[in-house]
Amino acid sequence: MAFLELNQVTYTYRQCGRPAVAGIDLAFDRGGITAVIGPNGSGKTTLTKLMVGILRPDAGEIRLENRPLRSYSLAGIGRRIGYVFQNPNQQLFCNTAAEEIGFGLQCLGWEQEVIGERVAFYLDYFQLASYRDVFPLHLSRGERQRLAIAAVLANEPSFLVMDEPTAGLDAYRKRLLSDYLQKVVSLGRGVVFVSHDADFVRRVATRVIGLESGRIREDSGGDRGHAA
Amino acid sequence: MDAVVVCDLTFRYWPDGPDVLNRISFQATPGEIVAVTGLSGCGKSTLCLCLNGIIPHSRGGEMSGLVLVNGKDTREHRVASLALEVGLVFQDPDTQLFSPTVEDEIAFAPENLCLPPGRIRERVNQAVTLLGIEAFRNANPNRLSGGEQHLVALAAVLALDPPVLVLDEVISGLDTGGRKMVADTLETLRCQGKTIIVVEHDLESVAFADRMLVLDNGAISRLDRAEAILADRDWLATRRLIF
């Protein structure tokens, strides 16, 4: 049983002539790092939003842990799948960087001491410790990107979907992210990320899915796209 | 005359905050492409905002030193006036897209200059053709992908035909075809005598630049021919600028 499965998924934005994605058949297991690549406008971001329930398919079905995705609330999906938006501004809303990272854990009722430890760890790992009390929107684009990633990772979801996580990151922070994702996967979690960064994809991905005009053009994961 | 002159530029966002830019000095000539790079948070985007007057006019903070664009002191000219000299494409394109269609977006600035309709159409067509975005000319910019939005924002800036262009992390968000298109476009614009400042983390994507300015904690770490910096892998590695 795949962790996340898409069966003949199609989605068309209103007032658009053609589907953004069409006839998508994919399955993802925990473990492994999958890169989704393709030209601008090929449907990559749309695919990620369908995977985490932000968009609902017009046709086909998506199943999470063998249950229809539509049977979950967004919060229920969020507890299982962490999502990093292409633009970090869309997911930063707290007063400080530390609050941003701790927000999800607060909502889940974790103990303050544990939250404190985890916030400190992620601030340190993503080199944001000196910005602990800074308003997130006062950070640079790359710093906001790191903060958004840290905030999602702090909840330690079983699966991660990240839309262009390396955008705005310098080479050093890309290496840190690469190391972290490999660590995450070694603990049995799965990662799917969208990227134009061919070098990062080459270094990190164990499976590559190529989209073109909303359809799958290639999938190194084999039949029905199970993770290698 | 140099198109861009920056002399001893220092800037901080808050009175008790750190200097985000620290005594930056450089010039850029007509027909030159200068790439600006450095670790995240080193001041690249802040420098871009100083080049078109958003700093100091629209953002607070404390600025000292001088920025001249085509002889105009950015402290003494309004942003609207400086926009005719410096076209800026923001790091997040959705912060500068607001029209219902791509065509409207590109036409907006020439319309506001009260250009005749024929000239406006000409500029829109030129920008659309140059960047290969005819296919979504009538699309809503908000419905486009991030990379497509960057191309539209660039087209809208080109429609003003400014002598100086500043692109903040535009290229790395594009696919291979888009990168080649923008690189070819910038080469064409360079030959027309435009001055182009390109901010990027991905150094290979700006290998076509004439010179490269490397920032480190707001100060200039190195300013040299791009070719020389890109060939100096040891130096780049010690500065953590390559993976």
Domains in chain B: boundaries: 1-83+204-243
The pLDDT value given to residue A15: 73
Interchain contact B23–A (C-beta under 8 A): no
Q: B74 to each of A84, A162, B4, B66, how far by Cα in Å?
A: 37, 39, 11, 8
Measured between alpha carbons, how far is B8 from B27 in angstroms, rounded to an integer? 11
Provide, as residue numbers in chain A, all residues whose Cβ is less than 8 Å from the Cβ of B242: 171
Mean pLDDT of A129-158: 93
Query: Which residues in chain A have their CB less than 8 angstroms from residue B243's CB?
Result: 171, 174-175, 199-200, 203
Q: What 3-state class would DSSP assign to A52?
A: coil
Which residues in chain A touch residue B38, judged by CB atoms under 8 angstroms apart? 170
Using alpha carbons, select from A136, A135, A104, A98 the residue that is nearest to residue A117: A98
Cα–Cα nearest to B28, from B145, B172, B242, B197 = B197
Chain A contact for B153 (CB, 8 A cutoff):
no
Q: Do B45 and A141 touch (CB under 8 A)?
A: yes
**C-alpha triplet A205, A206, A212: angle, nearest 5°:** 65
CA dihedral B227, B231, B233, B235 (to 10 degrees): -60
Cβ contacts of residue A172 below 8 Å, gap of 6+? Answer: B39, B240, B241
Residue B114 has pLDDT above 60, yes or no: yes
A111 CB-near residues (< 8 Å, 6+ apart): none
Average pLDDT of A128-155?
A: 93
Instruction: Identify all chain A residues contacting B94, using CB atoms and an 8 Å cutoff.
Output: 87
Q: Does residue B16 sit at the A interface (CB-CB below 8 Å)?
A: no
Pairing outcome for strands B219-225 and B211-216: antiparallel
CA distance B81 to B53: 9
Both structure tokens of A37: 């690549």
Whether residue B177 lies within 8 A of chain A, CB to CB, comes out as: yes
Report whether pLDDT(A184) > 70.
Answer: yes
- The pLDDT value recorded for residue A113 is 96
Task: Please state, rounded to an integer, the average pLDDT across all residues of chain B.
Answer: 94
Higher pLDDT, B79 or A1: B79
B45 min Cα distance to partner chain A (Å)? 8
Structure tokens at B145: 């992908």
Amino acid B107 reads A
Q: Is B60 on the interface with A (CB under 8 A)?
A: no
How does the average pLDDT of chain A come out, rounded?
Answer: 92
How close, in Å, is residue A141 to chain B by CA atoms?
Answer: 8
Mean local confidence (pLDDT), A105-110: 92
| Tens-place pLDDT, residues B31-57 | 999 999 999 999 999 999 999 999 999
B201 in contact with A at a CB cutoff of 8 Å?
Answer: yes
Q: Which helix (H) or strand (E) holds B187?
A: helix B176-191
Give chain A's contact residues with B (Cβ, < 8 Å). Answer: 13, 15-16, 38-42, 44-45, 86-87, 89, 138-143, 145-146, 164, 167-175, 196-200, 203
Q: Please tell me the CATH code under which domain B1-83+204-243 is placed.
A: 3.40.50.300
- What pLDDT was estimated at residue A178? 92
Q: What is d(CA A192, CA A207) in angstroms, rounded to the nearest whole number?
A: 9
CA distances B121 to B96, B108, B112, Å, are: 21, 11, 14
A41 contacts in chain B (CB < 8 Å): 136, 144-145, 147-148
In the chain, the amino acid numbered B122 is E
Token pair listed for A198: 């061919």
Amino acid at A203: R
Nearest to A26 by CA among A45, A42, A7: A7
Banded pLDDT at A226 (limits 50, 70, 90): very low
pLDDT, residue B175, reads 87
Q: β-strands B62-69, B33-38: how paired?
A: unpaired
Is the residue at A19 inside a domain? Answer: no
The pLDDT value given to residue A119: 97
DSSP line for A53-121: TSS--SEEEEEETTEEGGGS-HHHHHHHEEEE-SSGGGT--SSSHHHHHHHHHHHTT--HHHHHHHHHH
- The secondary structure element, H or E, covering residue A124 is helix A112-125
Mean per-residue pLDDT for B1-20? 94
Chain A residues with beta carbon closer than 8 angstroms to that of B136: 41
A228: confidence class by pLDDT, cuts 50, 70, 90: very low
Per-residue exposure over A128-167, b if at least 16 CB sit within 10 Å of its own CB, e if not? beebeebebeebbbbbbbbbbbbbbbbbebbbbbbbbbbb
Q: Is residue A112 in some structural domain?
A: yes
Report yes or no: B224 at the A interface, CB cutoff 8 Å.
no
Task: Report the gap between the CA of A82 and the closest CA in chain B (Å).
Answer: 21
- Answer yes or no: is A181 within a domain: yes
Q: How many domains does chain A have?
A: 1
Q: Which residues of B1-34 are buried (b: 16+ CB within 10 A; e: fewer)?
A: ebbbbbeebbbbeeeeeebbbbebebebebebbb
Task: Look up the CATH number of the domain holding residue A218.
Answer: 3.40.50.300
Is residue A150 situated within a structural domain? Answer: yes
CB contact (8 A) between residue B13 and residue A173: no
Task: Using pLDDT thresholds of 50, 70 and 90, give the confidence band for residue B177.
Answer: confident
A196 chain-B contacts, CB cut-off 8 A: 147, 172-175
pLDDT tens-digit series, residues B182-213: 999 999 999 999 999 999 988 988 999 999 99
pLDDT digits (tens, 9 = 90+) for A38-79: 998 899 999 999 999 999 999 999 999 999 999 999 989 999
The interface pTM score, or ipTM, of the predicted complex is 0.77
Percent of chain B scoring above 90 in pLDDT: 84
Span A198-213, mean pLDDT?
94
Q: Residue B60: pLDDT band by 50, 70, 90 thresholds?
A: confident
Q: What percent of chain A has pLDDT over 90?
A: 77
Q: B35: which 2 tokens?
A: 């790439």
**Which of B89, B145, B217 is the best residue to mutate to test the A interface, defined by the most A CB atoms within 10 Å of its own CB?**
B145
Cα separation values, B105 from A149, B99, B124, B130, B241, Å = 32, 5, 9, 16, 36
pLDDT of residue B238: 93
Give B118-165 pLDDT, tens digit per residue: 999 999 999 999 999 999 899 999 888 888 999 999 999 999 999 999
How confident is the model over A14-44, as pLDDT tens digits?
877 789 999 999 999 988 999 999 998 899 9
Amino acid identity at B61: G
- Where residue A1 falls among pLDDT bands split at 50, 70, 90? confident
User: What is the domain range of residue A203?
Assistant: 32-56+71-225
Least-confidence region, from A102-106, B68-72, B175-179: B175-179
For residue A83, list its beta bridge partners.
Answer: A161
For residue B200, give every residue at least 6 positions away whose Cβ sits within 8 Å of its Cβ, in sequence order, or none: B35, B36, B37, B169, B171, B172, B206
